Structure 1
Amino acid sequence: MLRSLAFATAIIATGASAAPAQFVERSVDVHGRTYRYQVFVPADVEGEQPAVVLFLHGSGERGNDNQAQLSQGLPPWLKQHTDFPAVVVIPQAPNDTEWTDKADADMALAALDKSVKEFHGDRKRLYLTGLSMGGFGSWQIAADHPGMFAAAAIICGGVNALPDDGRNLYVHGVPKGDDAYAAVAKKIGKLPVWIFHGGDDNVVPTEQSRRMNAALLKRHAEVKYTEFPGVNHGSWEKAYATPDLWDWMFAHKS
């Protein structure tokens, strides 16, 4: 039997036939490798065509236990908001990999596609969000797949490699340095984006989000930018608690 988180019992079904909101485990085979991932399934989606959100976690949640990616960001928020109306796909990047690696991006999109098919999701209402490493990955996927998503919320991410980092964590396929921001803005096309960042982030420089915002504004793109003064790297709690975030996201269709 597929395992679900204990919180699933906390929601009371509104009708006798309603299924409760829950997290369920799934797996997908990509390039000869099997990856496990989690899916948040809202209450009673049978007969519906729900929106589907792809969530990319940060570097601290990498692994192969299919649990760590539930510990930060959107999944803990979902545990407190079990009336959330969308399916949320929550893949897990293996250790020592990055969401900007093609293999990880392919895996995340394969999990998304499989979930859309299983839960009869609305392909005109696919949404993208990620934090930190997942923010970098969100820029990467948005740049590589323009038109796939209806809107994105990108939290404390960036596009350029971090100083002395030595990782593969930067948006590939665009020039490095100052030209990266304009290139990413051009690649993502008309995707509406809400960017969040802590004003005192000492892990991913806030300047990266400021410059992406400026590059999108220069292209007259639909972009919102929220900076939390005095907040360090962990800006995702405030970001996902932003009252009108999901109304804004779900107002868009591709």
Structure 2
Amino acid sequence: MLRTLAFLTAMTAVGASSAPAQFVERSVDVAGKTYRYQVFVPADIKPHPAVVLFLHGSGERGSDNQKQMSQGLPPWLKQHMDFPAVVVMPQAPDDTAWTDKADADMAMAALEKSISEFHGDRKHLYLTGLSMGGFGSWQLAVDHPGTFAAAAIICGGVTPLEGEGQRLYVHGVPAGTDPSAWVAQKIGKLPVWIFHGGDDNVVPTEQSRKMNAALLARKAEVKYSEFPGVNHGSWEKAYATPDLWSWMFGHAR
């Protein structure tokens, strides 16, 4: 049984289920373009639910509104349909990145529309992403301080990678500034749980180690979990961490 706070459990544990948990398709218009996204809706949803924004990795980009359901949090949700929060799962178009302004704006628009549709609680908004979505999570945390109550960031980073990864980095860092320290300063008091595989050969583990150190230096609330021997696919272990959601939902803005 999923461990959650009492206030979240109460939202779903009321009598027999007349409205089962489900995934629904939605769309949002941003800057003249229409983007489709998925939303997980809890069983017997009650007023003012918590809302989680999930950002997928680079392999799930596209326009089919399906690929983003194949890795990370969505498959986990399919095995845990008692999850008590709304989860918003946008899809970045091909050849784009969550750190691009257009994609970042689209993700926030999908979140905003979902908050409105499902009457989400703005004191209980949460952020999570993996790989490219981990980079995007740092970007959204920088660009929207005070919006999220907590974040879980998996195998992401803030500085460019080699090769095609050169375009994937947190935007806005002033020249000559330590990127990790700058990001840590910009996200303010946001509690963050960072996850990474110890043998990641796609996004170097050092990216998360540096962010953890930068947040610790600011005496921020940060947890860091590194999985020894695990390569890039650390999201399976991350989302299976028993205390993750009780920790996330234990924070309010």
Asked whether the two chains share a fold, i.e. TM above 0.5, the reply is yes
Structure-2 separation of matches of 1:237 and 1:164: 26
How far did residue 44 of structure 1 move? 0.5
Please tell me whether residue 182 in structure 1 is matched to residue 181 in structure 2: yes
Please tell me whether residue 129 in structure 1 is matched to residue 128 in structure 2: yes
Moved more, 35-44 or 176-185: 176-185
**TM-score normalised to structure 2 length:** 0.92
Q: How does 1:109-128 map to 2 (within 5 A)?
A: 109-128=108-127
> SS at the partner of 2:167?
coil
One-letter identity of the residue aligned with 2:20? P
Query: 1:7 — aligned with what?
Result: none
Structure-2 separation of matches of 1:177 and 1:129: 29
How far did residue 242 of structure 1 move? 0.1
Q: How does 1:1-254 map to 2 (within 5 A)?
A: 15=15, 18-45=18-45, 47-165=46-164, 167-175=166-174, 179-254=178-253
One-letter identity of the residue aligned with 1:223? V
One-letter identity of the residue aligned with 1:226? S
Contact 2:128 2:137 in 1 (8 A): yes
Query: 2:6 — aligned with what?
Result: none
One-letter identity of the residue aligned with 2:100? D
RMSD: 1.4
Structure-2 separation of matches of 1:137 and 1:85: 24
**TM-score normalised to structure 1 length:** 0.92
- % identical equivalent positions: 82
How far did residue 163 of structure 1 move? 1.9
How far did residue 49 of structure 1 move? 1.2
Contact 1:131 1:156 in 2 (8 A): yes
Contact 1:160 1:177 in 2 (8 A): no
Contact 1:155 1:197 in 2 (8 A): yes
Structure-1 separation of matches of 2:41 and 2:175: 39
Unpaired segments of 5 or more residues in structure 2? 1-12
> SS at the partner of 2:216?
helix
> SS at the partner of 1:165?
helix
One-letter identity of the residue aligned with 1:43? A
Cα deviation digits, residues 65-107 of structure 1 (max 9, x gap): 0000000000000000000000000000000000000000000
One-letter identity of the residue aligned with 1:129? T
- In structure 2, relative to structure 1, the CA distance for the partners of 1:208 and 1:18 (3 Å cut) is same
- In structure 2, relative to structure 1, the CA distance for the partners of 1:31 and 1:235 (3 Å cut) is same
Contact 1:99 1:133 in 2 (8 A): yes
How far did residue 164 of structure 1 move? 2.9
Structure-2 separation of matches of 1:195 and 1:217: 12
> SS at the partner of 1:136?
helix
Cα deviation digits, residues 12-57 of structure 1 (max 9, x gap): x974562000000000000000000000000001x42110000000
Find runs of 4+ consecutive structure 1 residues off by over 3 angstroms: 13-17, 175-178
Unpaired segments of 5 or more residues in structure 1? 1-12
> SS at the partner of 2:164?
coil
One-letter identity of the residue aligned with 1:36? R
Structure-2 separation of matches of 1:96 and 1:123: 32
Contact 1:160 1:176 in 2 (8 A): no
How far did residue 168 of structure 1 move? 2.0
Equivalent pairs counted in the alignment come to: 241
